[in-house]
Structure 1
Amino acid sequence: MTTTYRLESQPWMLAEETQRVIGALSKQGQDVRFVGGCVRDAMLGREIKDIDIATPDHPETVIKLLEAGKIKAIPTGLDHGTITAVCNHQVFEITTLRVDVETDGRHATVAYTDNWEEDAARRDLTMNALSCRLDGTVFDPFGGVQDLKENRIRFVGKAETRIEEDALRLLRFFRFQAWYGTDAFDQEGVMAAKTKAPMLKGLSAERIHSELMKLLAAPNPIPVLKVMLEKQIFSHFLPEVRTVDCVEAFIALEGRRDPLVRLVALLDGGEAKEKRSIPDRLRFSTAEKQHFLSLIEPEYGIDASTDEMLFKEALYRIGAGLVSDLLRLQMARDGTSFGHENARSRAKIIENWRPVFFPLQGRDLIQAGVEPGPKMGRLLKATENWWIEQSFKPDHEECLAYALKV
């Protein structure tokens, strides 16, 4: 039985763009509602990210209604009943009410319906099955509001069935636990996840990568990571995870919340060569892959006792962000805190560091009569090393004079 609640009007609900889109879609009296994350987060008083809307109208009708309201309609997911509306640069995802006809753990064959409870029943978690009219009436068919109040992450219906329909829901269960839950887990969901974990091998690397990064971006994912390790969830898609000790220590030290660096901490232990394949396996972007590899096989070995001059050389050559990550990772491995004098000193150096630039270039040597070639390269490198040893202080003229007498 669906229970109704009242949500106070939100700024995004009162916005001109929202009013225009809802007005266009409900022009013929249709029951049009907000669904998903915007309702869930509004109920919690959190900032919303996206505005998703559901309607009983079929996509073709949705397009006609939007165009009649002079709103741009893009058939981004026509096969799945989804149309993207753009109004004054604000984006809305509009989906026709659906019911699953057939699922295989990765994809679902759907049919359209005009039944709101049938549509809600195909969603993964109770807190994601809420819908809300423009007037603030919230419809809750599966106890999602109470679960929100109690920070309880619970599947709609039978947990195993939901996961069998789409294995990604297994990871979403843990991700939502990290963001919305507490240390108390719904045991039916946990046991279903353990039982169905082999299904993760059938998911695309891109979907796993996305969920993993969202999970690791949570303020404190440690309770979730511990349960995932205990229930052998990682063994089916990231078997290199052996402990959460390092990532737990790292989170207590980190200066910024970076899921990629947290992943490196989570993978602590074992040889670097065992981890080199992870970026390709999980379809990292080029930038993510480069940063990941620079953390597991760093150019500089950085810790709280690193010589100050070498520490500054690393800052110059690889940047303060990477040095900071490497320092905190090693401190987490060593069990060092910023209560340690050396650690505080190194952190202060990073904080005060400002990028410096070697003042000598090849064209300067050419103008001074040095022939281009290997000798010039050696002179530049030797001069740069000397400049670093002099704490980056020599200016252009001093560096040129040094190079010409080497």
Structure 2
Amino acid sequence: MSAPATLAVLAALTGQHAAARFVGGCVRDAVLGRAVKDIDIATPHAPPTVIQLLEAAGIKAIPTGIDHGTITAVADGRPFEVTTLRRDVETMGRKARVEFTDDWVADANRRDFTLNAIYCDGDGTLYDPTDGIPDLRAGKVRFVGEPSRRIEEDYLRVLRFFRIYAHYGKPPADVGALQACRMHAKGMAILSVERVAHELLRLLAAPDPATVLSLMQEYAVLAEVLSEASDFERLRALTRVDTDAPDPIRRLSAVLGPDVAKPEQVAFRLKLSNRDRVRLVAAATAAIPPSPDAATVRRALYRDGSEAFLDQIYLRWAEAGGRIGDPAFRGLLETARGWRKPTFPLGGEDVLALGIERGPRVGDLLEAVRRWWMEGGFVASRSECLAKLRTLAGA
């Protein structure tokens, strides 16, 4: 938060009897001594004034969400979200109709949790109108005001409560919040799938997602967003070995269990990318043992790619009770991370050149040579592959 580009944006918006302050996740992480990622800034300036002030300071301004008061400032190639102070005029369970204000307390009172309603000046002075700092330091995730009212404004806050708790909370969770989440869980049905999926994946990236998913199940929330989740122990086992960079898709695969039908269903319902869908399916259908031999490793890497292979190895190793320091496991990880997919030197035209007519036999012969090439460690040259092809074709 002290980077030159960050301070330049803040300085551009400060003055004319109005202050700009950091707010939300960046303040939350700074107070806890965690690495700060995205920077959000709140200001009493109306959006047109924000654009004018930024451009006057030579900072690019993009009206990304101007109707809701949000302008994206771009300084040194880095985006900063600048949002005008707001109060809700009308809420519909998804998105609110807002009006702009210069009242910091009114802005704080419309936010979801007290730990998200902490503001910070450029000099490091904290402004905490909802007593979020004590909650943050105690690991208490508490709604601003009455939990049911906050949730009815946007039902995504049910899922956000558990996601924030997964990353910042300490047990026991706030009982009033949990009861409100149970009461309004079915309200999430009106939300867009994309918003739900985004929150779920962020929750799965938490240090101990299995415990929070279990809590969601206890309070009848999980069934509304991820009813297929069932294998919490498998997820716990994965988190013990997958510590380098927690991967939400890999963890989603773990909690779905070994049922090969679930990944396709979940990927379709959550509108995951094709890449993520392929990963989920591959992780569920692969038959990689915990300690595969070199040939099995090569085949899996070539067939599925290094990312899907890593998913399979992490999951199989977790299921076998492996530990992150095991040399065999580390060796497999290094092999996968250093993998560069080789190019098979033949194509269909090489089969046709032998006088073989177009048809299924062309693909069968080509695949037979490919398997031979793979089993040999991908080292056979084009001429050697052609010789093998001629032998198989009887040419």
The 3 A distance-change label for structure 1 pair 21 and 387 is: closer
Separation in structure 2 between the aligned mates of residue 348 and residue 51 of structure 1, nearest angstrom = 38
Q: How much has 1:190 moved relative to structure 2? A: 1.5
Give me the identity figure in percent.
41
Question: Helix, strand or coil for the counterpart of 1:404?
Answer: helix
1:226-265, aligned counterparts within 5 Å?
Answer: 226-254=214-242, 256-265=245-254
Q: Which of 374, 383, 393 lines up with 1:397 in the alignment?
A: 383
Instruction: Say how many residue pairs are matched.
Output: 388
Question: Which residue is equivalent to 2:56?
Answer: 68
Separation in structure 1 between the aligned mates of residue 324 and residue 47 of structure 2, nearest angstrom = 60
Q: How much has 1:62 moved relative to structure 2? A: 2.2
Question: Helix, strand or coil for the counterpart of 2:148?
Answer: helix
1:98-113, aligned counterparts within 5 Å?
Answer: 98-113=86-101
Q: Which runs of 4+ in 1 moved over 6 A?
A: none
Structure 1, residues 348-395: CA drift from partner, whole Å, max 9, x if none? Answer: 355336446365313884697555734544332222222333344433
Matched, 1:329 2:318: no
Q: Is the 8 A contact 1:98 1:111 kept in 2?
A: yes
AA at the equivalent of 1:81: G
Question: Which residue is equivalent to 1:153?
Answer: 141
1:39-188, aligned counterparts within 5 Å?
Answer: 39-188=27-176
Separation in structure 2 between the aligned mates of residue 55 and residue 281 of structure 1, nearest angstrom = 38
Question: Which residue is equivalent to 1:379?
Answer: 365
Please provide the CA RMSD for this pair: 2.8
Matched, 1:313 2:299: yes
Structure 1, residues 92-148: CA drift from partner, whole Å, max 9, x if none? Answer: 222111111221211111122221111101111111101112222111112211112
Question: Helix, strand or coil for the counterpart of 2:261?
Answer: helix
Q: How much has 1:180 moved relative to structure 2? A: 1.3
Q: How much has 1:221 moved relative to structure 2? A: 1.7
| Relative contact order higher in (CA < 8 Å, ≥ 6 apart) | 1
Q: Is the 8 A contact 1:58 1:96 kept in 2?
A: yes
Separation in structure 2 between the aligned mates of residue 339 and residue 295 of structure 1, nearest angstrom = 19
Q: How much has 1:205 moved relative to structure 2? A: 0.3
- Per the normalisation by structure 1, the TM-score is 0.86
Matched, 1:388 2:374: yes
Question: Which residue is equivalent to 1:352?
Answer: 335
The 3 A distance-change label for structure 1 pair 380 and 164 is: same
Q: How much has 1:58 moved relative to structure 2? A: 1.7
Structure 1, unaligned runs of 5 or more: 1-9
Q: Is the 8 A contact 1:229 1:242 kept in 2?
A: no
Structure 2, unaligned runs of 5 or more: none
- Per the normalisation by structure 2, the TM-score is 0.88
Separation in structure 2 between the aligned mates of residue 352 and residue 69 of structure 1, nearest angstrom = 50
The 3 A distance-change label for structure 1 pair 323 and 146 is: same
Could you tell which deviates more after superposition, 221-230 or 365-374?
Answer: 365-374
Separation in structure 2 between the aligned mates of residue 45 and residue 73 of structure 1, nearest angstrom = 30
The 3 A distance-change label for structure 1 pair 356 and 135 is: closer
Q: Is the 8 A contact 1:39 1:130 kept in 2?
A: yes
AA at the equivalent of 1:162: R
Separation in structure 1 between the aligned mates of residue 198 and residue 366 of structure 2, nearest angstrom = 44
Structure 1, residues 206-255: CA drift from partner, whole Å, max 9, x if none? Answer: 00010001110112222212211222211112211234121112222336
AA at the equivalent of 1:348: G
Question: Which residue is equivalent to 2:2?
Answer: 11
The 3 A distance-change label for structure 1 pair 32 and 387 is: closer
AA at the equivalent of 2:256: L
AA at the equivalent of 1:91: P
Q: How much has 1:329 moved relative to structure 2? A: 2.5
Matched, 1:303 2:294: no
Q: Is the 8 A contact 1:25 1:62 kept in 2?
A: yes
The 3 A distance-change label for structure 1 pair 355 and 67 is: closer
AA at the equivalent of 1:250: L
Question: Helix, strand or coil for the counterpart of 2:102?
Answer: coil
Q: Is the 8 A contact 2:112 2:144 kept in 1?
A: yes
AA at the equivalent of 1:261: R
